[in-house]
Amino acid sequence: MALPQLDPQARSFTRLVNLADARLGAEALSCSDDFFAAKERMLNPEPAIFIPGKYDEHGKWMDGWESRRKRGPGHDWCIVRLARPGRLVGADLDTSYFTGNFPPAAALEACYSETDQIEDSHWQPLLPSVNLAGNQHHYFDLSADRLISHVRVNLYPDGGLARLRLYGLPDPAAVQPDADGCIDLAAALNGGRIVAANNQHFGLASSLLLPGRGLNMGDGWETRRRREPGNDWCVIALAQPGVIERIEVDTCHFRGNFPDRCSLQGALVAGGTDESLVTQSMFWAELLPAQSLQMDHQHYYQSEILAHQAISHVRFNIHPDGGVSRLRLWGRTA
């Protein structure tokens, strides 16, 4: 199992939701050409890989979207429907492992449409043409002044893009409450995000907020074995402030390495930075007292939740360490 990779050069906007994540429902709808590598690979949330000696019927297998060498005028393009309409704050154009076949330049266009039938006149510039280099991440700030549902990636003139990541704020109006009037305030698709985690050695804390149950033991938050006193934790910014009514803690696939217990704290935060919240979170009010956990099991809590006012952030504690697949915090927005 590959260890999760945290890019030390990543910009702060990468803490937001990647609305081009295929796990959340983003889809590559069409493209001018994907002869060498399928456009869908570009939306894979996992880091790109390179497999020496792997070829298919079209040539060298590459982990990303790659068009053939263009021998005429024009450029290649791909249209992506975001997982949910939102306001985009930043982009990562990743050319990992594309060395002699990366595009020298790229641009992004965007539009808002309730269907996938989009006229050329609807596209508006999102990121003007920028230079790209091979085998590296390229981070760009974007303006969040409008709602976007679709993005068109333009490669000049051709080549390969390993990953497209578009970070932003999902449109809260697109969130549909359940029959009880609640939404999952922690869900990434609704705008929940990880602020900080003390350890992510085997699995990223952001996996807690993904839809569905974990695919395997690598699809969850897992810390190293703790050899000192204390416990592991992560801080989560809720999609919207609200009051929590139901909690689900899912240890799917974690059997010999699930935490012994878990607990939750919460607070309504005004001001400060993500970094300052780490210290503050130690003193937040208790939301869910410590609860015993079982292996590979969905745990549901309702009566155990302590009375509280609206909160905007939670601290999820696991005692002393281990792995959790998903965390759901169902509540009413305030």
Tens of pLDDT, residue by residue over 47-71, are 999 999 999 999 999 999 999 999 9
Spatial CA neighbour of 88 closest among 167, 203, 161: 167
How far is residue 318's CA from residue 198's CA, in Å, rounded to a whole number? Answer: 11
pLDDT for 8 beyond 70: yes
**Cα→Cα distances 139→43, 132, 165, 231, 248, Å:** 16, 10, 9, 34, 35
In the chain, what is the greatest distance between 2 CA atoms, to the nearest angstrom? 67
CA 227 to centroid of chain Cα atoms: 30
How far is residue 276's CA from residue 6's CA, in Å, rounded to a whole number? Answer: 21
pLDDT tens for each residue of 11-36: 889 989 999 999 999 999 999 999 99
3 state DSSP class of 315: strand
Per 3-state DSSP, what percentage of the chain is helix, strand, and coil (rounded to 5)? 10, 40, 50
- From its phi and psi, is residue 320 left (phi > 0), alpha (psi between -120 and 50) or beta? alpha
How far is residue 323's CA from residue 255's CA, in Å, rounded to a whole number? Answer: 9
Spatial CA neighbour of 22 closest among 10, 7, 6, 38: 38
pLDDT of 1 reads: 45
Do residues 198 and 230 touch, judged by C-beta distance below 8 A?
Answer: no
How far is residue 105's CA from residue 74's CA, in Å, rounded to a whole number? Answer: 13
pLDDT for 308 beyond 70: yes
pLDDT tens for each residue of 168-223: 999 998 888 998 999 999 999 999 999 999 999 999 999 999 999 999 999 999 99
Map out the domains of the chain with their CATH numbers: 12-172 (2.60.120.260), 175-333 (2.60.120.260)
Do residues 24 and 211 touch, judged by C-beta distance below 8 A?
Answer: yes
Type of residue at 147:
L
Global pTM reads 0.90
